[in-house]
């Protein structure tokens, strides 16, 4: 579980990040990134019904949270990031998700 200091919880912030954020795509998800003056990077996850049923969506969200925790050192400080899962994420292993995240977050300037 991500600590509260690393979570985007306000709907307005999540919506603003989805609308105004720069998009960086991988085969499994899209990162929406907005640079802010916050001291921490903050994350939110968007996994819709096209990905799968409730059990699948929650499993994917847990996997994405774990991937983020393992790669926090790669994330630019002060970013708001919404990770929007694509339907192809169902076939990805945890290792593939980790590699895709590290490659995609590397594109963020």
CATH classification of the domain holding 58: 3.30.230.10
In a domain, 32, yes or no: yes
Domain presence at residue 47: yes
Residue 7 lies in a domain: no
Q: Is the pTM of this model over 0.75?
A: yes
Is 9 among the domain residues? no
Q: What is the pLDDT of residues 38-96, one digit of tens each?
A: 888 999 999 999 999 999 999 999 999 999 999 999 999 999 999 999 999 999 999 99
What range defines the domain where residue 90 resides? 22-106
Token pair 């640079």 is found at: 35
On whether residue 16 sits in a domain, the answer given is no
Domain count, the chain: 1
Which residues are CB-contacts of 32 (< 8 A; sequence separation ≥ 6)?
17, 18, 21, 22, 23, 81, 82, 83, 84
Q: Is residue 89 part of a domain?
A: yes
């Amino acid at each position: 579980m991500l600590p509260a200091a690393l979570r985007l919880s306000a709907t307005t912030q999540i919506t603003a990040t989805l609308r105004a954020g720069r998009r960086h795509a991988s085969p499994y998800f899209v990162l929406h990134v907005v640079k802010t003056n916050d001291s921490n990077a903050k994350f939110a996850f968007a996994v819709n019904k096209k990905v799968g049923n409730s059990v699948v969506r929650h499993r994917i969200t847990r996997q994405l949270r774990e991937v983020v925790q393992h790669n926090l050192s790669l994330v630019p400080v002060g970013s708001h990031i919404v990770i929007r899962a694509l339907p192809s994420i169902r076939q990805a292993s945890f290792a593939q998700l980790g590699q895709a995240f590290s490659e995609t977050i590397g594109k963020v300037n």
